[in-house]
Structure 1
Amino acid sequence: MKKTIKLISALVIALSLSAFSIIKPNSGEGYKIGDIAEDFSLKNIDGNMVSLSDYKYAKGFIITFTCNTCPYSVMYEDRIIALNNTYASEGYPVIAIMPNNTKIKPGDSFDAMKQRAQEKGFTFPYLIDAQQTVYPKFGATKTPHIFILQKTDKGNMVKYIGAIDNNYKDASAVTEKYVENAIDAILNGKAFSPTETKAIGCSIKA
Structure 2
Amino acid sequence: MNYNKIFASVSMLVAVLAVTFLFTAATDKNGYAVGDEAKDFNLKNIDGKMISLAGMEDAKGYIVTFTCNHCPYAKLYEDRLIALHNQFAEKGYPVVAINPNVSTTEADNFEAMIERAKEKSFPFVYLSDEDQSIAKTYGATKTPHVYVISKNKGKLKVEYIGAIDDNPKSAEEATETYVADAVDALLADKKVKKKEAKAVGCGIKWIK
Alignment of 1:139-178 (within 5 A): 139-153=139-153, 155-178=155-178
CA distance in 1, matches of 2:144, 2:163: 7
CA-CA distance at 1:65 after TM superposition = 0.3
Alignment check: 8 A CA contact 1:28 1:140 kept? no
Distance 2:156 2:74 in 1: 25
How far apart are the structure 2 equivalents of 1:193 and 1:205?
Answer: 32
| 160-169 or 147-156: bigger deviation | 147-156
Asked whether the 8 Å contact 1:146–1:164 carries over to 2, the reply is yes
Residue 35 of structure 2 aligns with which residue?
34
1:98 aligns with 2:94: no
Answer with 1 or 2: which has the greater Rg: 2
Cross-structure match for 1:52:
53
1:75 aligns with 2:76: yes
SS at match of 2:176: coil
Look up the match of 1:112: 112
State the Cα RMSD in Å. Answer: 1.5
Q: Which runs of 5+ in 2 are unaligned?
A: 1-23
Alpha-carbon distance, 1:100 to partner: 1.2
- Once residues 54 and 193 of structure 2 are traced to their aligned partners in structure 1, the CA distance between those partners, rounded to angstroms, is 28
1:180 and 1:132 mapped to 2: Cα distance?
Answer: 27
Alignment of 1:125-204 (within 5 A): 125-153=125-153, 155-204=155-204
Q: How many residues align?
A: 180
2:166–2:176 Cα contact (<8 Å) kept: yes
Is residue 102–residue 128 contact of structure 2 (8 Å, CA) maintained in 1? no
1:124 and 2:124 equivalent?
Answer: yes
Q: Note the C-alpha offset of 1:131.
A: 1.2
Q: TM-score, normalised by structure 2?
A: 0.84
User: What is the TM-score when the length of structure 1 is the normalising length?
Assistant: 0.85
- CA distance in 2 between partners of 1:61 and 1:154 (Å): 13
- Closer, same or farther: CA 110–101 of 1 in aligned 2, 3 Å: closer
Distance 2:111 2:187 in 1: 36
The AA in structure 1 aligned to 2:120 is: K
Query: What are the superposed Cα offsets for residues 27-55 of structure 1, whole Å, 9 maximum, x if unpaired?
Result: 98101111111110000000000000101
Moved over 2 A (4+): none
How far does residue 153 in structure 1 lie from its aligned partner after superposition?
2.6
